[in-house]
Structure 1
Amino acid sequence: MLFIDLANIISREFLSEGIDVYHNILQLFGIAGLGAMARPFGAFAFGHIGDKYGRKIALPIAILLVSIPSSLIAFIPSYSQVGITSTILLIMIHVIQGVALGAEQGGSSVYLIEHLSDKKKKLGMLFGIIGFGRSIGILLSALVVILCKITTDFNAWGWRLPFIFSAVLGLISAYSIYILGETPVYKATQKQTHLPIIDLIKHHKRAFVLAILIAMPVNVIVGFTIFARTLAKEIVSMEVYVTTYINEIVSIITGILMPIFSILFGILADKMGKERTAILFIVITMILCCPLLSIAYYYKSYLVIMLSVMAFSMIERGINPIGIVASELFPTKVRFSGVSLSRNISFTLHGGFTPMICTWFTITFPQVNFVSGLYVVLCLLISLVAILQIKPQDKKL
C-alpha cells in the first residue's frame, strides 16, 4: 500500500526526468514489472522448499524477504544525488521482493486451506478472513502516512519514514507463521516428491494451465487499481495528494469495509459456489471498468476517483474465493509449487505489467479516456472462459 500510494513521489525521487510525469510513472511501473518477472523464480525455488521441507520453513523466509527490503527504500539516495545508482538500487529491491512474493502470495493461501481442509463447507467464509490481514496493512499505511504528513516535511523527506515500519510488521508476521507450525495435511503426507516441479509439469498440466488463467482477474484488477490510484494524483495534481487527507480517509474506510465484504462474499461463495460467485463479480467488473474511467476524466475529482478505486477493491473481494479453487486443483505433494507458480506466472503476465500497459494506452490514445479499461475487459473475458472449463473431476482436495 505504501508503494502504491507513494508511487508518484518514488518516480520523482529515483528515476531520471522523463518527457512528462506520465513517462516517469511508466518507468516506475516498468521497474515494478521487473519485480513481477522475478516472482515465478521465487515460486519455483520456494515451492520446492515448501513441498519438500514444509510450509512453515518456506513462508517465514519469504515474508522477511518482502518486508526487510521494503524498509531499505527509506535509505536510497535520490537520483539527483547519485544518478543511475539510485534507480539500480530500487530495481534490486523490487527484484528481491518479487522473488519472495512469488513464494508468499501463493503459499499463504495453501497454508490456510491446508489448516482448514476439514471445514470445506465454510472455506469461503474462512478464506475471507484473509481480508483482515490486508485491511490491517491498508489501515496502518494510511495512519502512518497521516502521522508523517502532520509531523514532517512529507514531500521532501517525511514520505521515507513509513517504509521503515514495514520491517517490524514482517518480523511479527514471520514469527506468527513459525509458532503456528506445519499444516496437518502436509504432516499427514508421508511421501514427499523428490522434485515437485517435475511431477507438476508431467502429471498436472491441465490443472496448471487452468490455475494460471483463473488467477488473472484478481491480478488484473489489483494492477488496474494501482494504475487508477496513480493516475488520480496526476489528473488532479500531486499538490492535492500531499496537502489533503482524502487518500488516507478513503483508505481507512476501505480497510474497514474490506474484511466485511471478504467474509460476506465468502459466505456467498459457500452457498452459491466459488466459481459462480467469481463469475458474477467478473461480469460486474467488466461492465463498470470503462464507465468509471470516463467518469474519472470527466469530473477530475480526486474524491470521485478514489471512491471508484474503493469500489473496485470491494468487487475484487468477490472474485477472491477463486483462489480456493486453484488450491483444490492440485494434490498435497505439489500444491505449494502448483499454486505459487500458477499465481505468479499469472501475476507476471497480467498483474505486474497491467499498470504499465494501462499507462502506455493512456499516453498513446489520450483522446480515448477509457481505452485502458478495454484491456482489462479482454483479460477478464479470457479468464471467464477458463473458469467455465473447470470440471468436478479436476478437483483434488
Structure 2
Amino acid sequence: MSSFLGSTVEYYDFLLYGSAAGLVFPHLFFDKDMDPTLGMVLSFVILLAGYIARPVGGVLFGHFGDRFGRKNMLFITLMMMGVVSVVIGLMPTYATIGIAAPIILVLLRVVQGLAVGGEWAGATLMAAEHVSEGKRGWAASIAVTGGPTGSVLATLVLGLFAGLPEEAFMTWGWRVPFLLSAVLVIIGLYLRYRVTESPDFVAAQASGEVHTGVPIVRVLTKYPLSTLYGILACAGPLFMQALLAIFMVPFVVQTGAVDRQQALMLLTASSFVHIFAIPFFAALSDRFGRRPVMLAGAGISIALVFPMFALFNSGSFWLIALAFMVGNPIIQASMYGPIGAFLAEKFETQDRYTGVSLTFQLGSVLGAGTAPLMATWLMGLDNGLGTSNIAVWFIILIVLAGVSVLLSKETLGRNNSAASRPVDSVDSSAAR
C-alpha cells in the first residue's frame, strides 16, 4: 500500500505537468506572440528535461538506496515531488516575470525528474522484496500501477477544472490540481514513515553482502547485458504511455472531434482500466514466465497499433474512446505489466536499486521522454502518412523490446537473493 500510494502521488505530480504541457503551458509560460506550435514544442522540450534528469536521479538515489536502504530514499523523493508541484501551482506566468517563467519551469521539472528517477525502482523493489518469489511479479506491478492511478487523478482533476470558462481556467483553474497534491503527499509520507525496510536488503546487510563501493560501477561491469536489455524492453511500452497521456489529448482536441474536457475524461477512463490491466498481465507472468507474457505483449502491440490510430482519426467520440482503451489497457499494459519483476530479477539485492533505476529511467528517456517531440516531428513529415509515421516508429521500438526480451533468460522461479548470481550477469571469476 505504501509503494502504491507513494507512486500514485509521484506520478500524479509528474503526469499533471504532462497533461498541462499541451493544454496550458504554451499559452502562459511563453511569449503570447509566439507561434502556438512552437510554444507546444518548447513545453515538450521542458517535459523532456524532466525525463533526462530521471536517470541521474535513479543513479543518485540508487547509490544510497543500495548502500543504506530503500525506505529513507523513498521518503525524500516523495517530499521533493510534493514541494515542486505546489511551487508550480503558485508560479507567476510569462506576463508577470517574462523569460524567468520558463527558466524556473525547467529547473522545477529537473527536480521532479530527479525525484521520479529514484521513486520508481525504490517503490517497485519495496513491494517485490516484501513478498515470496511466486508473487513477485504481481506485487511489483502494484507499485507500477501507481503510474496509471496518478494519471487517473491528474487527468480527472485537471479535466474537472477544464470545464471552467476559458478565462477562469487559464487564470486559476489549472493551478488547483497542482496545489491539491499537498494533501496526497502528506498521506504518502505518513505511510512511508510507517513501512518497514525491505527484508531482502536487511538480510543482505546482516550477512555483510552490502558493498561499500560505487553501485553504478558494479552495475555497468557486472550486468552489461541486463542493463542493455532492460533499457530496450522499457522503451516501447513507455513510448505508448507518454504518447497517449501527453500527445494524443491535444491531438484529438485539435481535430474537433472532442473538446478539452472530453479528451481528458476519455484518457481518465482508459487509465482507470489500465490500473487493473497491469497486475493482470503481471499475474500471468507469475504463472507462465516473464518472457512469454512480454513477447505476447509485443505481438499484440504490433497487431493493434494501426487499428488504434485509425480509431483516433475516425472523428467519432466513441471510436476515440475505444482507441484510448486499446492503447492503455491492452497495448501498453501487455508488455508493461511484468516489467517490474522482469527488471528486479536481473540484479542481486545489493545492486538492485541502482540497476533497476538505471535501466528503467534510460528506457524512459528513450521511449516516454522523446514521445511527444518525436510524434510532433513525425506528424509534420511531408509524406501524407500522418499518424502512420508514429505507428511505424512505435513498431520499431517494440521490435527492439521484443528482441531484448527474447535474448534475456527467464527469471521466474530463480532465487535472486544476494547470494545468487542473477541471469545475464558477467561471471567475473570465469573472466579471471
Letter in 2 for 1:3: Y
| Matched residue SS, 1:201 | helix
* Structure 1 residue 330 displacement after superposition: 0.2
Once the two structures are superposed, the pairs formed by residues 193-342 of structure 1 within 5 Å of their partners are: 193-194=211-212, 195-225=214-244, 226-236=246-256, 240-241=259-260, 245-297=261-313, 299-301=314-316, 304-315=319-330, 316-320=332-336, 321-342=338-359
Q: Encode CA deviations 1:354-390: one digit per residue, 9 max, x unaligned.
A: 1111111112337211212211111111111110001
Q: CA distance change for structure 1 residues 141 and 350 in 2, over 3 Å: closer, same or farther?
A: closer
Q: Distance in 2 between matches of 1:198 and 1:358?
A: 35
For the 8 Å contact 2:74–2:192, the answer to whether it is kept is: yes
Q: Distance in 1 between matches of 2:82 and 2:149?
A: 15
Q: Encode CA deviations 1:41-89: one digit per residue, 9 max, x unaligned.
A: 1111111110011100111111221222022221222222222111111
1:31 aligns with 2:50: no
For the 8 Å contact 2:289–2:410, the answer to whether it is kept is: no
Q: CA distance change for structure 1 residues 372 and 256 in 2, over 3 Å: closer, same or farther?
A: closer
- CA RMSD of superposed structures (Å): 2.4
Q: Could you say which residue in structure 2 is the equivalent of 1:348?
A: 365
Q: Could you say which residue in structure 2 is the equivalent of 1:166?
A: 181
Once the two structures are superposed, the pairs formed by residues 60-75 of structure 1 within 5 Å of their partners are: 60-75=75-90
Q: CA distance change for structure 1 residues 78 and 176 in 2, over 3 Å: closer, same or farther?
A: same
Letter in 1 for 2:392: L
Q: Encode CA deviations 1:271-291: one digit per residue, 9 max, x unaligned.
A: 222221111122222222233
Q: Could you say which residue in structure 1 is the equivalent of 2:376?
A: 359
Q: Distance in 1 between matches of 2:361 and 2:159?
A: 32
Q: Encode CA deviations 1:115-165: one digit per residue, 9 max, x unaligned.
A: 11x2x2233333343365345434433443355356772243211111001
Q: Could you say which residue in structure 2 is the equivalent of 1:85?
A: 100
Q: Could you say which residue in structure 1 is the equivalent of 2:195?
A: 180
Q: CA distance change for structure 1 residues 73 and 306 in 2, over 3 Å: closer, same or farther?
A: farther
Q: CA distance change for structure 1 residues 32 and 303 in 2, over 3 Å: closer, same or farther?
A: farther
Letter in 2 for 1:231: F
1:148 aligns with 2:161: yes
* Structure 1 residue 169 displacement after superposition: 1.4
For the 8 Å contact 1:60–1:175, the answer to whether it is kept is: no
**Larger deviation, residues 213-222 vs 371-380:** 213-222
Q: Count the aligned residue pairs.
A: 390
Letter in 2 for 1:343: F
For the 8 Å contact 2:308–2:326, the answer to whether it is kept is: no
**Larger deviation, residues 90-99 vs 256-265:** 256-265
* Structure 1 residue 319 displacement after superposition: 1.5
**Larger deviation, residues 28-37 vs 265-274:** 265-274
Letter in 1 for 2:157: V
For the 8 Å contact 1:63–1:170, the answer to whether it is kept is: yes
Q: Tell me, which stretches of 5 or more residues in structure 2 are unaligned?
A: 1-14, 417-432
| Matched residue SS, 1:368 | coil
Bigger relative contact order, structure 1 or 2, given CA contacts below 8 A and separation 6+?
A: 1
Q: Could you say which residue in structure 1 is the equivalent of 2:137?
A: 124
For the 8 Å contact 2:66–2:353, the answer to whether it is kept is: yes
Once the two structures are superposed, the pairs formed by residues 44-55 of structure 1 within 5 Å of their partners are: 44-55=59-70
Q: TM-score, normalised by structure 1?
A: 0.90
**Larger deviation, residues 277-286 vs 359-368:** 359-368
* Structure 1 residue 202 displacement after superposition: 2.2
Q: Could you say which residue in structure 1 is the equivalent of 2:404?
A: 386
Q: Could you say which residue in structure 1 is the equivalent of 2:7?
A: none
Q: CA distance change for structure 1 residues 307 and 82 in 2, over 3 Å: closer, same or farther?
A: farther
Q: Could you say which residue in structure 2 is the equivalent of 1:5?
A: 19
For the 8 Å contact 1:215–1:323, the answer to whether it is kept is: no
For the 8 Å contact 1:236–1:302, the answer to whether it is kept is: no
Q: TM-score, normalised by structure 2?
A: 0.83
**Larger deviation, residues 256-265 vs 72-81:** 256-265
Q: Distance in 2 between matches of 1:135 and 1:186?
A: 28
* Structure 1 residue 221 displacement after superposition: 1.6
For the 8 Å contact 1:236–1:301, the answer to whether it is kept is: no
How high is the sequence identity, in percent, across the aligned residues? 26
Letter in 1 for 2:119: E
Q: Could you say which residue in structure 1 is the equivalent of 2:385?
A: 368
**Larger deviation, residues 83-92 vs 16-25:** 16-25
**Larger deviation, residues 255-264 vs 168-177:** 255-264
Letter in 2 for 1:296: F
